[in-house]
Amino acid sequence: MTTITAFKPLSKDDLADVLGVSIRTIENWVNEGILPAPTKLGNRVYWHPNAFYAWLDRRLSAETANSAPAQDGAPEPSPSCARPKKRSASATAKTELEKVRSRTQAQLDALMA
């Protein structure tokens, strides 16, 4: 016999409570690609608890690993040896958006002068 374990999907409110931030911050982090994308059910969005807590575990483990000093005596890799971070599509789009905004502002400034 198979036992099914029920779970409660996590809403924006739930994530905001767990992370201690506002709902708007949750929305911003999803748009920036910091948080994993939710699944839309009807007019609401939810995260599967396993997916969210796995992301949180990876995120906290990565920060702990980055802040912990090397204990085996091996030198820490220099930043030039580190792999460059890949930009997500949303980060690339935001960079392009910032370029357009900067260019538009420069054009407006030139017209105003």
Phi then psi for 83, rounded to 5 degrees?
-70, 140
State the pLDDT at residue 83: 47
Asked if residue 17 belongs to a domain, the reply is yes
13: Cβ contacts below 8 Å, ≥ 6 apart = 23
Q: Which range in 6-10, 73-77, 85-89 is most confidently predicted, on average pLDDT?
A: 6-10
35 close to 55: Cβ distance less than 8 angstroms: yes
Q: List the structure tokens of 113.
A: 């002068």
* Helices then strands, each counted (H, E), the chain: 4, 2
Widest distance between CA atoms in the chain: 78
Range of the domain at 56: 12-65+88-112
Q: How many domains are there within the chain?
A: 1
Asked if residue 7 belongs to a domain, the reply is no
* pTM of the model as a whole: 0.53
27 close to 37: Cβ distance less than 8 angstroms: no
Q: List pLDDT tens digits, range 30-86.
A: 999 999 999 999 999 999 999 999 999 998 988 777 776 555 444 444 444 444 555
Asked if residue 56 belongs to a domain, the reply is yes
CA atoms within 13 A on the CB side of 47: 23
55 close to 62: Cβ distance less than 8 angstroms: no
Asked if residue 60 belongs to a domain, the reply is yes
Q: List the structure tokens of 7.
A: 């779970």
